Amino acid sequence: MKVKADDYRNIVFFTGAGMSAESGVPTYRGRGGIWHQYNWEEYACQDAFDRDSEKVLKFHELRRKLILSCQPHAGHFAIAEMEKRHPGVFVVTQNIDGMHQRSGSKRVIEVHGSIWRLRCPRHGISEDIGENYRRHRCEQCNTWLRPDVTWFGDMLNHDVVDEATATIGGSNLFISIGTSGVVYPAAGYPQIAKNNGAYCIEVNPEPNEMSNLYDRTIREPAGSALPCLFL
């Protein structure tokens, strides 16, 4: 059954690692997930960065290289197309890989940050795109720059979380794609959408603990489900 987008004023596509997995970017916990291969305590927490910044930056450069070798798929393009023809479309994503922007989406809220940005504790955030970082240290104060992504043990950026919560809380159609639904605050998003009376759809080949909250579940990969979801 096709969905008529014009019946909904505000539409949120909420995406997780499964959305990017279909492009070849590894998931976190699933089969082939990166935390089976790499120990996050060595590569993805502030302590690791404080111990050996260069090692952590090099690991992120490896991930950037891998991400750049992947391409957005038909599901990403379907979302970007929908944004062009509907003024109330937003993407809220847990992914840090910028794949939505590469497919043309503009209204993207990145709750776990972006691997394409670096952060100096004193001089703020700068965009840095490419396989290798242009610089590892801040030009102004020479401090190590850290990837602007949420690592284990990090606080989320409050402003971004507030924006995501408000956007989802105002949605009438909430479509969750490729997330296992276990990591908060994202795990609470379908309930927030439901509380606003949104119609909730899950796109995921596998069921999970949150699946029963959805009005409709589509057990298919995002790349085949999304292009034919709308009228």
Q: Tell me whether residue 172 is exposed, middle or buried, using C-beta atoms within 10 angstroms of its C-beta: 0 to 12, 13 to 18, 19 or more.
A: middle
105 sits near ligand APR (criterion: CB under 6 A): no
User: Least distance to ligand APR from the beta carbon of 29, Å?
Assistant: 4
Helices (H), 99-229: 99-102, 158-169, 189-195, 222-225
Buried b (16+ CB within 10 A) or exposed e, 212-225: ebbeebbeebbbeb
Query: Of 3, 5, 70, 183, which lies in the binding site for ligand APR, with binding defined by CB under 6 A?
Result: 183
First to last CA, the chain: 9
* Cβ distance to ligand APR smaller for residue 85 or 219: 219
Q: Which residues are catalytic?
A: 112
28 sits near ligand APR (criterion: CB under 6 A): yes
229 sits near ligand APR (criterion: CB under 6 A): no
101 sits near ligand APR (criterion: CB under 6 A): no
d(CA 35, CA 109): 24
Stretch that binds ligand APR, among 28-36, 60-68, 116-124, 136-144 (CB under 6 A): 28-36
Q: Which of residues 136-165 bind ligand APR (CB under 6 A)?
A: none
Give the list of residues 6+ apart from residue 3 with CB closer than 8 angstroms, or none: 173, 201, 229, 230, 231
208 sits near ligand APR (criterion: CB under 6 A): yes
How long a stretch of residues is the chain?
A: 231
* Cβ distance to ligand APR smaller for residue 10 or 204: 204
Stretch that binds ligand APR, among 81-89, 119-127, 134-142, 201-209 (CB under 6 A): 201-209
Rounded to a whole number, what is the largest CA-CA distance in the chain? 57
Residue 214: alpha-carbon gap to chain centroid: 20
Q: Which of residues 42-61 bind ligand APR (CB under 6 A)?
A: none
29 sits near ligand APR (criterion: CB under 6 A): yes
Contacting residues toward ligand APR, per CB under 6 A: 16-18, 21-22, 27-30, 33, 94, 112, 177-180, 183, 203-206, 208, 221-222
